[in-house]
Chain A
Amino acid sequence: MKRYYSVLLLTAVIVIIQVLTLITGKAYLLTQLTMSAYYIVVAVGLCMVMGYAGQISLGQAGFFAIGGYTTAFLTTIDFSGKAETVLYRMLDTLGLLITKETLYGDTIIHMTPWISLLAAVLIAAVTAYALGIPILKLKGHYLAMATMGFGIIIYRIVLGSRIFGEADGISNVPSFPVFPGISVSGDFTSRISNYYIAWLLVILGMLLLINLINSRVGRALRSLHGSEEASDAMGVDTSRYKVIVFVIGAVFAAVAGFFMTHYNGGIGPSEAGVAKSVRYVAIVAVGGMANLWGSLIMGLVLNFLSLRGVFGHFDDAVFGIILVFMMMFMPDGFIHTDVIHDIKEMLRPLFMRKKKLKKKQEVSND
């Protein structure tokens, strides 16, 4: 039960933040907080891959784009003139079609996003599995470049294909009715419910990962990160665990991409860019690599500030400085379990001097 205290604390903080924004009349901040939450889902997934399994992935934005573009493509297909097709009749009898009216009074019939959620997760998982089996045999620079290569392939495909809208991306993505009456959309009036949906997703993700870390898989991963040879020798099926974690990270990114696309009502190729992948790596690095809560907190802080435009023109430069600074001076991350210990260590010379002086005085007194 103890391991869930921090999740309860997170839930409390989420509610407090929402109430605070309501009281201070700054409800507009919820928009950025919601978007940050979706990016956090990617970051904690990557945290498992990088921190716990020790495998770098510079292609996480590619999986995010797979999730986003899958749903954007599927849910913007208009069935209104295609009542005779087999697919239409099949979806109609299963009750998986949604009819809505546009601003101009036209009716659009599209499939429910639940299908595209399933598709997004499946495509991301299969891609990650097929990609992971060969490339996770690589190490270090080779793995970094291979994953980055995957990211660039996805970016080039969405940028160069007409069905994905080329440089414009896909817009007019319909809202996603999660529960009856509550849906994921950029609608002004549903800002609060969207905020809670996003953070509910974060909490679910965290619960899943916390349980995973404290399971047999988690222990295997930690041994893998410590020394691949040693854990291999202990009978841990290292290559299988690496692929499992890679797939989990990919699915997290794809789900985040799916929700973000419905929230924004569209997706563009910049979401698939290498810069985004590097950004996720920066967040995990600042969070302290093998630290889910660190990734969560830094993901919230950095994404929120970036989305609010605090860094202005220096947005990318800030993330570059963070990467270099963290690796040079704090390779264990900004937030880690031993922060208090570290501060003590830093302050120790100050106390030491006093103690030594006292001792010297004692000696001289004798």
Chain B
Amino acid sequence: MSVEQVLQYIFAGITVGSIYAFVAIGYNIIYNATGIINFAQGEFVMLGGMIAYTFSGLMPLLPAVVLAVLITSAVGSVIESVFIRRMRKTSVLGMIVVTIGISILLREAALYIWDEQIRALRFFTGSEISSVNIFGARISPQVLWILGITTIIVAGLFLFFKFTLTGQAMRACSENLRAAKLCGIRTDSMVNLSFMLSAGIGALGGCVVSPLTQTHYAMGTDLAIKGFIVAILGGLGNAIAAVAAGLLLGLIESFSISILPMAYKDVISIIILLIILVVKPSGIFGSRQASSMKDY
């Protein structure tokens, strides 16, 4: 394998890894606020890409993407206030079943609003044939867009959770919901905000990767499981580790294609999930001490 080839695989891995990271960040935000794994997270990515595609026919790309993010956030907010809020008291089993049900409904709705055709948003800069030469590897400028936006999102989230009052309030909810309530934090609106935020981030991810990976109404399930693998790999609740884990999984998948048939790509990553779950459920970046306090 030449240096150029290795670089090519690395960039391909980073591209796929970024989209997994987007899903995993969404999982983490909701998990932090509520302790729920939202199985409909992959559907937000799909909705973002689909809505942006529809609007991009009517207006320039930037407002189309902004609209897609806003609309998907609204969908996230509606899902929380209609379904999740009523479900607070049920068991984990009930929560899993409900979010799976919601994901099916979103998928079916997308099938009827759009159709089963594969769509792709147009490239942010250049076209599908333009490429940038980096150390001999030729990559699409869209990859740079993906990397840039992922970096901005992670930095933005870090600053948001660290320094803004709302962000701190959300972290307080994740520490102890009742204590946060007693401190005068509106926990209901914080949970709602977490759904909006993760839906919006998912939608943005769906928009930036759409030119390269395409958007399809049924893409959510695969993304949901991959995003979960990444979230677990990084340690559930840790958004920044999720990005590192996302890139790692992307690279593993990308290099596995060069050895194994393409069809088994998913098998590799799921086997990684099973191994991680059994060996170290706190994730490769999680501390063993903290994990002994948790229930897996």
Contact = CB atoms under 8 A, between A and B. Distances in A.
Contacts of B295: 139
B289 interface: no
B92 A135 contact: no
A65 interface: no
Interface in A130-147: 134-135, 137-142, 144-146
Given A281-B97, A285-B97, A317-B104, A156 B221 contact: no
Given A142-B296, A149-B274, A328 B93 contact: no
A309 interface: no
15 contacts: A139-B92, A139-B295, A140-B92, A141-B37, A142-B281, A144-B37, A145-B273, A150-B274, A152-B266, A152-B270, A157-B267, A316-B104, A320-B101, A324-B105, A327-B94
B222 to A, nearest CB: 8
A57 to B, nearest CB: 11
B105 A156 contact: no
Contacts of A160: 261-264
B96 interface: yes
Interface of A: 50, 54, 56, 58, 134-135, 137-142, 144-146, 148-150, 152-153, 156-157, 159-161, 274, 278, 281-282, 285, 314, 316-317, 319-324, 326-328, 331
Contact of A327 (B101, B103, B232): B101
A148 B225 contact: yes
Interface residue range, chain B: 35 or more
Nearest to A281: B97
Interface of B: 37, 83, 86-87, 90, 92-94, 96-98, 100-105, 107-108, 221, 225, 228-229, 232, 261-264, 266-267, 270-271, 273-274, 277-278, 281, 295-296
Nearest to B86: A328
Contacts of B263: 156, 159-161
Given A134-B278, A285-B97, A324-B83, A145 B102 contact: no
Contacts of A54: 93
B93 A156 contact: no
A-side binding surface: helix, strand, loop or mixed? helix
A-B pairs with lowest CB-CB distance, top 3: A160-B263, A320-B104, A323-B101
Given A156-B266, A160-B264, A331-B94, A142 B277 contact: yes
Contacts of B232: 142, 145
B261 A153 contact: no
A328 B90 CA distance: 9
A328 B274 contact: no
Contacts of B97: 281-282, 285, 323, 326-327
A140 B96 contact: yes
Task: From B37, B90, B100, B102, name the one whose CB has the most chain A CB atoms within 10 angstroms.
Answer: B100
A56 B96 contact: yes
Contacts of A146: 273-274, 277
Nearest to A160: B263
Contacts of B229: 149
B98 A328 contact: yes
Given A149-B270, A317-B104, A320-B105, A156 B264 contact: yes
B108 A278 contact: no
Contact of B102 (A139, A141, A324): A324
